[in-house]
């Protein structure tokens, strides 16, 4: 297997030569065809020159230069060159500052040999750890960023979404948009995991120890952190237009809910509790229609008709309905909050449910539906084959169409 280690650099002259030497020592004990691609963003300190000198010693060292446009762009260029220009079967991502230990590269590649598609060097699984030199603030920032990536982007199963030490099969990377969609900055790390999981890749975490750089300066800035969290929301909805579409659908659904409440109770005089329940139903129906217009075509195939989907959508909406209605009653009865404000505040716990728990419930339901459809198709095909004169054993090994 040809493996290319992609290392983005900017002003890493003090580290890159030592890192290349350390990697060559690790490569000597590996059975794969190992290469290194340094992606330098036109470093003014002469990083590229050090790499060029290393190329005289090792023929497996490659250099790709370009203007500085962010970590995401550098990784996208590097990975694309590794796949197209170097014909890599797998790519390893790592930093140039020794925060990622070169001695862990064989372990990450070994996980690919073991059947994984996407291997993460993880600080937050058993056996992994962050730098002992990190203070409370640094640890807090790292944990908050990682939790944000997990629960905003929906990567619940992954423990370390923000460490850039990975090994990824080319077969996965070839199916990811590496030119138009990736974020420019550090959110590229979350983006790649999200895309891999969307492709049903087998993601494995290998424990590693993250170390502080001893030479050079960190490139992480406040602006990078802000961009990371903004892009995490984009990633959650796969593309920016999907984010705006979901946001506009949610806001217009809230408007329909509150508008119906104001009409029923404020103008017509329907009792507040009854008006709240009816307004919530209006919101559910509105959301169903909105989702019906924008739903993924693949999911439509698993629901036999509109009435079935409507009933299923109502079933999924029961928990947020109860949360909102209960909050409405508490706020209006106990604290005498204005009925529209109470309904609006009651929507907040429902939003929390829908975002952090409801999505997982929906995914579970769709998974069970897909399984039942597959089983039903398999049973029908089994019967057809037996009716055509095949033996029962023949029917058991038929392909499910």
313 SS3 class: helix
Answer whether residue 185 is part of any domain.
yes
Q: Are 177 and 38 in a shared domain?
A: yes
Q: Are 190 and 248 in a shared domain?
A: no
Which of the listed residues 215, 236, 257 is the one where a domain comes to its end?
236
Q: Are 218 and 275 in a shared domain?
A: no
Answer whether residue 32 is part of any domain.
yes
Q: Is the pLDDT of residue 79 over 70?
A: yes
23-27, 209-213, 222-226: which is most confident: 23-27
Q: How confident is the model at residue 39 (pLDDT cuts 50, 70, 90)?
A: very high
Q: How confident is the model at residue 246 (pLDDT cuts 50, 70, 90)?
A: low
Q: Are 32 and 62 in a shared domain?
A: yes
Q: Looking at residues 181-195, what average pLDDT do you find?
A: 82
Answer whether residue 218 is part of any domain.
yes
Q: Name the phi and psi angles at 8, rounded to 5.
A: -75, 140
- Domain residues for the domain of 252 are 241-387
* Dist CA 325 CA 27 (whole Å): 62
Q: Which of 2-6, 188-192, 212-216, 351-355 has the lowest mean pLDDT?
A: 212-216
Query: How many domains is the chain partitioned into structurally?
Result: 2
Q: What CATH number should be reported for the domain holding residue 141?
A: 3.90.550.10
Q: Are 211 and 119 in a shared domain?
A: yes
Q: Enumerate residues 6+ apart whose C-beta is below 8 A from 158.
A: 120, 150, 193, 197, 203, 205
pLDDT (0 to 100) of residue 386: 44
pLDDT (0 to 100) of residue 275: 94
Q: Is the pLDDT of residue 278 over 70?
A: yes
CB atoms near residue 388 (< 10 Å): 9
Answer whether residue 401 is part of any domain.
no
Q: Are 40 and 176 in a shared domain?
A: yes
Cα–chain-centroid distance for residue 125? 18
Q: Name the phi and psi angles at 119, rounded to 5.
A: -110, 130
Q: How confident is the model at residue 361 (pLDDT cuts 50, 70, 90)?
A: low
Q: Are 223 and 255 in a shared domain?
A: no
Q: Which of 88-92, 155-159, 291-295 has the lowest mean pLDDT?
A: 291-295
What average pLDDT does the chain have?
82
Q: Are 245 and 227 in a shared domain?
A: no
CB 2 within 8 A of CB 88: yes
Q: How confident is the model at residue 381 (pLDDT cuts 50, 70, 90)?
A: low
pLDDT (0 to 100) of residue 52: 97
Q: Is the pLDDT of residue 98 over 50?
A: yes
22-26, 174-178, 257-261, 301-305: which is most confident: 22-26
Q: Are 40 and 169 in a shared domain?
A: yes
Q: Which of 48-57, 112-121, 389-398 has the lowest mean pLDDT?
A: 389-398
pLDDT (0 to 100) of residue 298: 38
pLDDT (0 to 100) of residue 379: 55
pLDDT (0 to 100) of residue 363: 60
**Which segments of 20-69 are extended strands (E)?**
33-40, 61-65
Which of the listed residues 188, 205, 236 is the one where a domain comes to its end?
236
pLDDT (0 to 100) of residue 296: 44
Q: Are 302 and 208 in a shared domain?
A: no
Q: Is the pLDDT of residue 291 over 90?
A: no
Q: Are 255 and 228 in a shared domain?
A: no
Q: Looking at residues 158-165, what average pLDDT do you find?
A: 91
44 against 177, higher pLDDT? 44
Q: Which of 189-193, 246-250, 276-280 has the lowest mean pLDDT?
A: 246-250
Q: Is the pLDDT of residue 27 over 90?
A: yes
Provide the greatest CA pair distance for the chain: 85
Q: How confident is the model at residue 377 (pLDDT cuts 50, 70, 90)?
A: low
Alpha-carbon radius of gyration of the chain: 26
Q: Which of 153-167, 180-194, 259-273 has the lowest mean pLDDT?
A: 180-194
Percent of the chain surpassing pLDDT 90: 50
Give the global pTM: 0.64
Answer whether residue 222 is part of any domain.
yes
Q: Is the pLDDT of residue 133 over 50?
A: yes
pLDDT (0 to 100) of residue 294: 59
Partners of residue 20 on adjacent β-strands:
none
Answer whether residue 168 is part of any domain.
yes
Q: Are 299 and 232 in a shared domain?
A: no
Answer whether residue 396 is part of any domain.
no
Q: Looking at residues 20-37, what average pLDDT do you find?
A: 97
Which of the listed residues 221, 236, 251 is the one where a domain comes to its end?
236
DSSP string, 137-190: HHHHHHHHHHHHHHHHTT-TT-S-SS---EEEEHHHHTTS--SSSS-SSTTHHH
- Between CA 80 and CA 209, with CA 5 as vertex, the angle to 5 degrees is 130
Answer whether residue 258 is part of any domain.
yes
């Amino acid at each position: 297997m040809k493996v290319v280690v992609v290392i983005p650099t900017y002003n890493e002259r003090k580290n890159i030569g030592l890192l290349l030497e350390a990697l060559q020592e690790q490569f000597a004990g590996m059975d794969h065809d190992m290469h290194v691609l340094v992606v330098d963003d036109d470093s003014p300190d002469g990083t590229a020159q050090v790499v060029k000198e290393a190329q005289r010693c090792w023929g497996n060292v490659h250099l790709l230069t370009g203007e500085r446009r962010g970590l995401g762009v550098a990784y996208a260029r590097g990975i694309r060159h590794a796949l197209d220009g170097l014909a890599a079967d797998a790519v390893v991502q790592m930093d140039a500052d020794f925060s990622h230990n070169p001695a862990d590269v064989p372990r990450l590649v070994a996980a690919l040999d073991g059947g994984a598609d996407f291997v993460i060097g993880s600080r937050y699984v058993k056996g992994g750890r962050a730098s002992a030199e990190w203070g409370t603030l640094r640890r807090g920032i790292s944990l908050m960023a990682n939790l944000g990536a997990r629960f905003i982007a929906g990567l619940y199963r992954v423990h370390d979404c923000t460490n850039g030490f990975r090994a990824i099969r080319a077969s996965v990377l070839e199916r990811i948009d590496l030119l138009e969609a990736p974020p420019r900055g550090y959110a590229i790390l979350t983006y790649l995991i999200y895309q891999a999981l969307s492709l049903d890749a087998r993601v494995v975490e290998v424990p590693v120890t993250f170390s502080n750089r001893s030479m050079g300066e960190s490139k992480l800035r406040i602006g990078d952190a802000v961009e990371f969290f903004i892009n995490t929301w984009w990633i959650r909805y796969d593309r920016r237009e999907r984010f705006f579409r979901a946001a506009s659908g949610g806001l217009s659904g809230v408007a329909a809910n509150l508008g119906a409440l104001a009409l029923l109770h404020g103008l017509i005089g329907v009792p507040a509790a009854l008006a709240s329940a009816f307004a919530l139903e209006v919101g559910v129906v509105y959301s169903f229609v909105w989702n019906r217009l924008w739903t993924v075509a693949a999911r439509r195939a698993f629901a036999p008709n509109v009435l079935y989907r409507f009933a299923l959508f109502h079933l999924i909406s029961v928990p947020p309905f109860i949360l909102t209605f209960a909050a409405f009653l508490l706020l209006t009865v106990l604290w005498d909050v204005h009925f529209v404000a109470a309904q609006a505040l009651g929507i907040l716990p429902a939003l929390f449910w829908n975002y952090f728990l409801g999505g997982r419930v929906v995914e579970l339901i769709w998974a069970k539906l897909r399984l039942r459809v597959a089983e039903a198709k398999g049973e029908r095909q089994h019967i057809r084959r037996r009716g055509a004169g095949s033996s029962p054993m023949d029917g058991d090994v038929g392909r499910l169409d």
